[in-house]
Amino acid sequence: MDVVASRLNSLPPPAWVVFDDLANPLRHNGRPWLTLLDDEMEPDIVVAERPSLVVWSSIWTSRPDARIRFDLEGSMDATVRWTLMVDPPNPDDRQVRHMGKRIGDLVFASLRYTYGQ
């Protein structure tokens, strides 16, 4: 698989809290955040190593080969790096930007909002 995009940011809770949400994205606990678009599907959890690593299968029906890797660390605020990987042929730059923006919107906007920020 080729790495086509990656981004590092932080979220307010500890890494283990973020891990729990990423490893079980449809568990709501009163705060749903994984709202999928028409061309998206629920990811399978490919790898989950608490509290530092979660790998999702693709959320895009047009790119079922994609994987999203989340590397987590931090006992107070979580440092989160997502990495988007695909099998060749790689998507064009426009599609990579769209996919990266979507991951960012889900994790660093929708999920962040559930933590009160």
Q: Are 15 and 6 in contact (CB under 8 A)?
A: no
Query: What's the average pLDDT block by block, 10 residues per block, for the chain (117 residues)?
Result: 97 96 86 93 97 98 98 94 97 97 97 89
Q: What is the pLDDT of residue 56?
A: 98
> Residue 104's domain is classified under what CATH number?
3.30.530.20
Count of structural domains within the chain: 1
Phi/psi at 63 (nearest 5 deg)? Answer: -135, 70
Range of the domain at 68: 2-114
Euclidean distance between the first and the last CA atom of the chain, given in angstroms as a whole number: 34
Looking at 3-92, list the stretches that DSSP marks H as alpha helix, in order from N- to C-terminal side.
15-23
Angstrom distances, CA of residue 27 to CA of 55, 65, 86, 91:
17, 24, 27, 31
Place of tokens 């990656």: 6
Say which DSSP state 107 is in. I
Q: What is the pLDDT of residue 30?
A: 72
